[in-house]
Amino acid sequence: MNWFKTGCFVGVVLVATGVTLAQTLDDAYVGASNATAAAITDPAPDATPAHVASGRAELRGQSYSTGFESPFVVGWLGSQQGWSAWGSTLQPQIATTGTPYAGTQHLMIARDPNVATGTYIGGTTPAFSPAYHSGEQYQLSVQVKITATNGSSYYVEPYDSATDIVTTRVLFYYGGGIYVLEYSGGSYVWASTGYNWTANTYKELKIVQTLGANGPIQYYYGGTLIYNDLNGIAAATRLDYVNLYSDNRNSTSIGYFDNFSVTEVQVVGACCFADAHCEELTHAACSSAGGTYEGVGTNCSSFQCPPLGACCLYNGMCVIRSQAACTALSGAWQGDFTMCTLGFCPASPLDCGPSTLFSQPVADPNGSSYSSYFSDSYYAWIVYDNYVVNGPIGDLHWWGFDLAYDPNSGWSECDQLNPRFEIKFYPDDGTGRPNTAAPACTYTLVATAVDTGILYGTWHLKEYSVNLSPNCTQLSGWVSIRGSDTTPDTCLFAWLSATGGDGLAYQYNGWTLVEQNRDLAFCLTAPPTGACCFADGHCALLTHSACTLAGGTSWTEGVLCEPLNPCPQPQGACCYPDGFCAVTTQLDCQPPGVWHPEWTSCTPNPCPPPPVTGACCSTTGTCSVITQAACGTTGHYYGDNTTCRPGNKCPASCRGDMNCDGQVSFADIDLFVAAIGGEAAWTHWPCPWINGDCTADQNVTFADIDPFVARIGQPCP
């Protein structure tokens, strides 16, 4: 049973959308850029702790600013005035007893004893509304005072919550240096500004950044330009939050932040309109006026706006673009200053994309005839069409209608809720018909259904698509697509006929196969590839099925493994010589840290404590504080936790024992006499010259003779 149309219908522009997954950028690695920065351990740009913002900060045309004065109240930042805090309820605080830059209050981030060392604590601004976007420029300013070095590191971090990456990051390193995030050689690195921050003094940090592909960034500290990044950060295209936080490393410093502001910088550029005239406008004003923004720094005197015209896309849509932009979209440009009108572009076959293996495009809705064949379990109808492909089939797209019959009004459109289909692929039975008794691949799937916007008569054409997992490897034969019982079960699927093909299909009418001299609209595509992530953090570009077979832990369609590995990296304990432990990735564990993948927690601390040391006198008289093993047999070790005299001089071990045999005897007399000649002439190291100081005045003189004689016969302590 089928319905058939001959005659004239009014068509509309065809609109169809495929099912894709948005590609995201994550897991960008922040490494050390030089020896000074080598000890920095820091999260990747997308590893900012989660925040919850309850307020909105209006930003356009004005500055968002706060000095943390009233209506902020003294105490935990919490969610005051739309900000959000991370850490415990003790830190950070708004404090009147501290040292605000101006007024009476400011943001204080101190060591939080309720969370582990190395845990990021701080605050997040309200969400800027609307967010900054590519081509726009902002200026961030904040007064920063850190009380002392060798405490915690502090960060100022503009952030994009939509892509979960930072737009930049400034690090006030606990050792005293100021570092900024830079994108270099395909990866994120810390770049030293060459400047140190001033302890216990408020100074203004200012960031001026142009968002977009490699937009420039300027960094100022105390009014001085400390770093000018001309290349910017490739992924920084949006800004809607700023994070202020510390690594909670040490309690010996406190970070104060005051007079915080983010201001829009009105930057104009060439804005091209459909009639090719140019105006210099901001990015936002250009978009609002319907123009195309050509970028920051462009101007109408040097930029020639290309003429725009109608561009007919592969799916029949009409858009206004330049000829170059139309070509980039694989469209057909219709000429200078042509305009899109209803029905301007012919309804063309829907293209399933570059990975298409086989396609039969939809019949022309404006043509002389088209057919639609019911293929639905409600009436036991099944439609089959043949195909040939040269590789595994990963996706199936097809076109048709959802129709219901009413005895009083006839056929009308309906909508299936979660439309389910039974899909089968068959080999040929040798007579040019499908071998229905031996399907090679069988699926029962809920399809994604999209209204294309094109009308066949008064009925809306729908595009259906499914992902086939596992992929079907039947390279030639027949495919059947049959609506399954769904809600409502009286809403039936009708498969639209196609343009082209071999003019052969079959419909099962409940008891026999009936040959049809039409083809059906469908296409078969190769399995999509994507990033396949493994437990060890490495990435491979595979199909979904191949990823599963290879033991992958996750798969993301359309995402590449290069230039940035999007896979989460395994975590392990990073142990430092002083016994400090931090859970990081292997790349984040910078020397002198040693990464231990076998330890995934720092609670309790698995890292070995620092070795016990003591004073060691060498054969040249130089004293150093090292381990007993390092002192060896040629040096003289004074015991654990002992220290050298000023100037790295050897300490006394036993007064009067000039040969270090453990007692004062006549054998020490000649050496004592030699010691009176001064330390510079002493040649009996590692036995220390200062052992001759029997008067404890830090020198060996004639005054030590009598006390030395009195010591003869005495054992050493």
pLDDT tens sequence across 42-98:
433 333 333 333 233 333 344 689 999 999 999 999 889 999 998 888 788 888 778
| Surface-to-core class of residue 91, CB atoms within 10 Å of its CB (0-12 exposed, 13-18 middle, 19+ buried) | buried
Same domain for 198 and 78, yes or no, is yes
**Is pLDDT of 330 > 70?**
no
For residue 674, the tally of other CB atoms under 10 A from its CB is: 17
For residue 327, which of 309, 300, 353, 302 has the smallest C-alpha distance?
Answer: 309
Residue 119 lies in a domain: yes
Res 266: pLDDT: 73
Kindly state whether residue 570 falls inside one of the protein's structural domains: no
Of the ranges 223-232, 355-364, 439-448, 614-623, the best mean pLDDT one: 439-448
What whole-number distance in Å separates Cα of residue 245 and Cα of residue 336? 54
Report the CATH number at residue 50. 2.60.120.560
Residues 221-238 have a mean pLDDT of 84
pLDDT digits (tens, 9 = 90+) for 381-422: 899 999 999 989 999 999 999 998 888 888 889 988 889 999
Residue 274 lies in a domain: no
Give the structural domain span for 388. 2-8+350-525
Say whether pLDDT at 39 is over 70: no
Confidence of residue 367 (pLDDT cuts 50, 70, 90): low
Per residue in 596-635, pLDDT tens?
999 989 999 999 988 889 999 988 889 999 988 889 888 8
State how many domains the chain has. Answer: 3
Mean pLDDT of the 467-480 span: 93
The model's confidence at residue 434, banded by pLDDT at 50, 70 and 90, is very high
Q: Look over the chain and give the mean of its residue pLDDT values, rounded to a whole number.
A: 82
pLDDT score, position 98: 82
Q: How far apart are CA 442 and CA 422, in angstroms?
A: 7
Do 248 and 355 have their domain in common? Answer: no
| Distance from C-alpha of 271 to C-alpha of 555, rounded to nearest angstrom | 40
> Could you tell me if 234 and 368 lie in one domain?
no
Same structural domain, 131 and 260:
yes
248, 118 Cβ separation under 8 angstroms:
yes
pLDDT in the model for residue 477: 95
pLDDT over 50 at 704, yes or no: yes
Q: What is the pLDDT of residues 649-666, one digit of tens each?
A: 888 888 988 988 888 999
Judged against a pLDDT cut of 80, whether residue 7 lies above it is answered with no
Q: End of a domain among 265, 288, 323?
A: 265
Given 492, 510, 525, the domain boundary residue is 525
Q: Are 321 and 313 in contact (CB under 8 A)?
A: no
Asked which of 501, 525, 549 is the last residue of a domain, the reply is 525
Q: Which residue did the predictor score with more confidence, 466 or 351?
A: 466
Mean local confidence (pLDDT), 231-259: 87
Q: Does some domain include residue 287?
A: no
Looking at per-residue confidence, does 332 or 483 come out higher? 483
13 occurs within a structural domain? no
Q: What is the pLDDT of residue 331?
A: 66
Residues 520 and 425 in one domain: yes
Same domain, yes or no, for 505 and 372?
A: yes
Asked whether residue 145 falls in the same domain as residue 44, the answer is yes
Per-residue pLDDT at 233: 80
Q: What is the pLDDT of residue 610?
A: 87
252 and 125 belong to one structural domain: yes
What's the helix, strand, coil split of the chain in %, to 5?
A: 10, 40, 55
pLDDT at 572 over 80: yes
Does a structural domain hold residue 403?
yes
Percent of the chain exceeding pLDDT 70 equals 86
pLDDT of residue 1: 31
